[in-house]
Structure 1
């Protein structure tokens, strides 16, 4: 594990994170902004729920959801897990943040209402920054130095639906890569994705984990402002398998075997499929999640409600790939990403 950041966090806790047993409480985020009612919040705090379970010797694992407040599947999975787990089920320590960006979770938004902060872009943060920066700083300076593993559960948020998958960032060493691929297969979603970097770069949690020497796995589990039962079920069993695999549970919490896992890499963002219509219209998709598309293929049409007699404008794929995400809102215009694509990952080259 890497060195702990020297500056002390201003977030305080209602529990002793290092104590044995099962504890539930809050990280208390000091507010120096107007609170949810608009009153002066200079003495108020935003409570961020935290649960710790510590029992004997074993690895330490941080489980997170609500990094983005309107991604729901992971929040549900972790709330169910903390209610179900007993202290004797755990070997070592679990630290669980089921709603890491609590202001965003509270208001059902991707970003914090307090400072419009996207937590997954704010690492390493700072103890005297805005609320989102303070949360990022606490996670990186106080929690990551305590753990060997992080599982960060994401889904597609309100505007995207994601092909359910587990994700690892590609480590530099071959031994580390093999270990990361093993964790990916143990988690066992039908799709396993290997990425070079997070979309958020070094400001994402993946960047924080790399700085602190912590092994990271994340998910994408549906989205679209709803909750995907099948994605939750697959990820619950995957998380149970992974926790037992790394030695964090004293017994298997599932007997489901991992399914066959197809390994994909995400293509460059310039090869995603974007709408190019100057006028916004209604997007009609012609392909769906997990479909294979080819360069030059018409993958959708944009229909113009202001001039309904006008021909629809086709949306054309500029590259080959497998559809990983699809846009949910029908009202679409130039620059909107309608599909993100992936391609099969070749283990021999990683390319």
Structure 2
């Protein structure tokens, strides 16, 4: 395997607090010998587990970046037993552009793992995380929300895994996060995800969906800030007690959770996020945006539960995810 071109300006074996960069050579019109400088913080103190904390894998999701820049600024190494690696803006070009995908190579950072050291900019970042960070990590917390096109009830999530002991460790960390909802999550396509890369290496992996619609709220950011510290406490990296809060357990037991639009048009929501629905209920209808006088197309829940996610913009395209119904456990 070819070496990574990324050069860290921090020492992952040194103690204390280090704020620096992952320096990735990036030659372009504006700078022939330029670099992409991806901010990173490492906080280390003595023996203990390592946590890898990432945000902005998709650049239009903001709870993780806010919580992680706050943690990077405030985390005292005297309170740490082990090491915390903080990457608030994993897909830094996408984050700076306010876009889901990188404006450099149009890559979805959370669909290209394990990456390539001689690939595109995004593939090089994924390769560095895969080869340098995941082997160091005992626990990985990867923040997500819905970006500009989806909105979610705020949940922390883990996946169903073939190894029951591994699954139990991931689910325990998810529950420790303490989001208002705790999800056993089903992915539409798990190939190339950081989730899958970490889980295949046996790491404790937790992800989130904390809101969306291309923004964040005071409530969703507070959930993220509390949750990241809870996971560090649960993992033995920070001292103290996990801050307990009520959490509703949710499951996505099958692909019947997902409702996809088969038409283009104007969405009329019929239930709101968090509302209970029964199988067969209309969760939304799509009206024609090209002519009046046509009947809308109704979209029905195929499971009973709550509306856990919905399409955020008022217009929808054919094939877009219209909603997700999660079952109550």
Same fold (TM > 0.5): yes
Q: Give matches, 1:1-351, under 5 Å.
A: 7-32=2-27, 34=28, 39=29, 41-195=31-185, 198-249=187-238, 251-252=239-240, 257-269=243-255, 271-277=257-263, 280-345=264-329
For structure 2, the residue ranges without an aligned partner over 5 or more in a row are none
Please provide the CA RMSD for this pair: 2.0
SS at match of 1:154: coil
Compare 310-319 and 133-142 and name the one that shifted more.
310-319
Post-superposition Cα deviations, 1:277-300, rounded to whole Å, max 9, x if no partner, equal 3xx332110101122223322222
| TM-score, length-scaled by structure 1 | 0.88
For structure 1, the residue ranges without an aligned partner over 5 or more in a row are 1-5, 346-351
Q: Is the 8 A contact 2:159 2:167 kept in 1?
A: no
| TM-score, length-scaled by structure 2 | 0.93
Shift of 1:182: 2.0
Shift of 1:20: 1.1
Task: Return the alpha-carbon distance in structure 2 between the equivalents of residues 42 and 318 of structure 1.
Answer: 54
Shift of 1:179: 2.5
Compare 324-333 and 256-265 and name the one that shifted more.
256-265
Task: Return the alpha-carbon distance in structure 1 between the equivalents of residues 288 and 317 of structure 2.
Answer: 10
Task: Return the alpha-carbon distance in structure 2 between the equivalents of residues 306 and 119 of structure 1.
Answer: 35
Instruction: Find the counterpart in structure 2 of residue 348 from structure 1.
Output: none
Shift of 1:256: 7.0
Q: Is the 8 A contact 1:70 1:225 kept in 2?
A: yes
Q: Is the 8 A contact 1:293 1:317 kept in 2?
A: yes
Task: Return the alpha-carbon distance in structure 1 between the equivalents of residues 193 and 139 of structure 2.
Answer: 16
Task: Return the alpha-carbon distance in structure 1 between the equivalents of residues 300 and 188 of structure 2.
Answer: 23
Task: Return the alpha-carbon distance in structure 2 between the equivalents of residues 88 and 200 of structure 1.
Answer: 41
Post-superposition Cα deviations, 1:223-257, rounded to whole Å, max 9, x if no partner, equal 101112212212221221221121111x33xx773
Shift of 1:205: 0.5
Change over 3 Å in CA distance of 1:245–1:305 after alignment to 2: closer
How many residue pairs end up in the alignment?
329
SS at match of 1:57: coil
Task: Return the alpha-carbon distance in structure 2 between the equivalents of residues 96 and 276 of structure 1.
Answer: 40
